[in-house]
Amino acid sequence: MPKLTFKEDLIERLKKPKAAQAYLDAAVADGDPTLFLEALKNVAEAHGGMSLVARKVRLDRAGLYRMFSANGNPTYKNLRHVLEALGYRFKIEKIAA
C-alpha separations of 93 from 25, 72, 81 in Å: 12, 26, 20
Greater confidence, 56 or 4? 56
Q: What is the pTM of this model?
A: 0.88
Q: Residue 87 above 80 pLDDT?
A: yes
- pLDDT, tens only, 10-65: 999 999 999 999 999 999 999 998 899 999 999 999 999 989 999 999 988 888 88
Buried b (16+ CB within 10 A) or exposed e, 64-73: beebbeeebe
C-alpha separations of 45 from 42, 53, 56, 93 in Å: 5, 9, 13, 27
Q: Residue 1 above 70 pLDDT?
A: no
pLDDT classification of 86: cutoffs 50, 70, 90: very high
| pLDDT at 4 (0 to 100) | 78
